[in-house]
Amino acid sequence: MNILTAWRSPAQSFSRHKSNKTQDKAGPRPSKGIEIKSKREIELMRESSRIVATVLKEIAEMIAPGMTTKDIDTYAEKRIREMGAIPSFKGYHNFPASICISINSEVVHGIPSPKRVIKAGDLVKVDTGAYKNGFHGDSCITIPIPPVSERVAKLTEVAEKALYAGIAQVRAGNYLMDIAGAIEDFVKTRGFSVVEDFTGHGVGRNLHEEPSVFNFRTHQLPNVRLRAGMTLAIEPIINAGSKQVRILADKWTAVTVDNQLSAQFEHTVLVTEDGYEILTDRNLV
């Protein structure tokens, strides 16, 4: 893939992407190559997304200090399979688990471990995907483990509201830049930063498809015009301090360079003629 994806394998770097001259021009681009889902396909997307929403809702209710991150992964895989789906993440670019679980200053792509124990006060991000009937759903939540500091609570609130500020811009005829601008403005006016090294993405038959759904104003990625039937994973990552991240020696886990906290929420969203439908809405399960 020549697009920046939410999952950056070691071979895909943002700096390499930046040097791609063919992407340097500003302005709207056609939505060529982006699949428009049929009614039937949307129905299948709803089903995969509902499974993801169910798993995340259950994890938010059961997660507690003393559990390991591997415990959460084991539970997620069991539930995804019970609902007739396959974990989208397991084996993807050789990722070894069914969830990404990233704690505190870990930004994304944390690998579950039987040695990593969840503690009171932790800020835990759980991201998962389910594949069923040929389609993926993808969603992420941030779970503060009580008692948490006011700063942790605030960062979590801003991250979740930033996602919804972006989603509010979703409708046929709007552009990806409308989503990005809304997220960037919402976050920056509240004193936090938006990570630029990872973006959201199209989602459907593949976990990651075009377009890159960026969370900050940029002319280095195609500013696609939205069309009804597109399905997008919108997933801003919000840092308490610097937006800069680095990848640990495990080649997966991204962490903040300043060791400050990071939070993320993600939904799989269908573009409709007059707005959107949140396919991974946990209120519906």
Q: Using CB under 5 A as the criterion, which residues of the chain lie in contact with Mg ion when the complex forms?
A: 6, 127, 138, 140, 233, 266
Q: Are strands 254-256 and 245-247 parallel, antiparallel or unpaired?
A: antiparallel
In the numeric block, which tokens belong to residue 140?
């992420």
**Do the strands 200-202 and 209-213 form a parallel or antiparallel pair, or are they unpaired?**
antiparallel
Task: Specify whether the CB–CB gap between 169 and 182 falls below 8 A.
Answer: yes
Closest approach, Cβ 123 to Mg ion, in A, equals: 17
Q: How far is the CB of 6 from Mg ion (least distance, A)?
A: 4
With a CB cutoff of 8 Å and minimum separation 6, the contacts of 274 are: 171, 172
Nearest distance from residue 234's CB to Mg ion, in Å?
A: 9
Taking the complex as a whole, the smallest distance from the CB of residue 80 to Mg ion amounts, in Å, to: 13
Instruction: For residues 138 and 206, give the distance between their C-alpha atoms in angstroms, rounded to a whole number.
Output: 11
For Mg ion, give the closer residue by CB, 100 or 145.
100
Give dist(CA 158, CA 89) in Å, integer: 27
Return the number of the residue (77 or 266) whose C-beta is nearest Mg ion: 266
* DSSP class of 9: -
Shortest distance, position 19 Cβ to Mg ion, whole Å: 24
Q: Which residue, 73 or 266, has its beta carbon nearer to Mg ion?
A: 266
How far apart, in whole angstroms, are the C-alpha atoms of residue 73 and residue 100?
A: 8
In the bound state with Mg ion, the residue whose beta carbon lies nearer, of 88 and 169, is 88
> Closer to Mg ion at the Cβ: 184 or 266?
266
- Which residues is 232 bridged to in the sheet? 202, 269
Contact 263, 142 (CB under 8 A): yes
